[in-house]
Amino acid sequence: MRLDDKIALIVGAGQAPGASEAIGNGRATAMVFAREGAKICCVDRYLEAAQETADMIEKEGGDAFAVEADVTDEDAVNAAVAACTDRWDRVDILHNNVGVSVEGGDAALADISREAFDRIMDVNLLGTMLTCKHVLPIMRDQGGGAIVNISSASSYWTGHPTVLYPASKMAMISFTRQIAIQNADRGVRANVILPGLMDTPMAVDRRVEALGRTRDDIAAERDSRVPLLNKMGTGWDVAHAALFLASDEAGFVTGIEMPVDGGSMARVG
């Protein structure tokens, strides 16, 4: 019970659609946090997806409820935070796990549209900024809290096939460092996880339609690029890293980047 009686607001707690049995980072994190004793406010753009996660948590004996919010809509973000505090009076953990890539129009530079730039930066960076903007005053007033943001190891990869996703995720790293320093004196910690090649619906299933390839083909190609046993990680790997950073065990850890990538970043350069 490493998060016993903690209140966790998880943004992106739903599940991206996909034909596989893979679990997304957000849903896995919501379930792991609940198993460790946290009460979960499941926030997602799609209420049905968030409710499904909340139902899974309650079926295991946890305490959760679902809230619909588009992270690019500040009023909706503010309302989601208010729903959490109305129910439980505080927010101890904020976990941001929202992102789009090729399905948002990401591509090589010559093929990027202004609409794709706006969409990807709004979802991947503005959304995290808005949730932090509305949660940080609560954490500061209550004397502490933990923010865990999800970036990507692609921020550091050279030769990435697209440009906007890694750029937005690198910006998130810098953003997280800034809020870590600016709120350290009030006991608020902020850290960022850099997942590598993961077997999740967003990372694999969504590419099937976008790239016109089979899931097995995409998964095999991604597996081959992972140093650790030539096998992608899963949403559970990200969830357990997030658990550490959200828990009191990481009470002296703030402003760091934590790769969860099977060794991929160890060979950068």
Residue numbers annotated as active site: 165
Distances (CA, A) of 125 to 24, 159, 173, 175: 19, 22, 10, 9
Q: Which of 77, 83, 97, 105 is nearest to 33 (CA)?
A: 97
Secondary structure of residue 95 in the 3-state scheme: strand
* Rounded CA separation 124/112 (Å): 16
CA triple 141-146-151, angle to 5 deg: 130
Output the furthest CA–CA distance in the chain (Å, rounded).
51
Distances (CA, A) of 231 to 87, 205, 210, 219, 268: 41, 16, 22, 9, 18
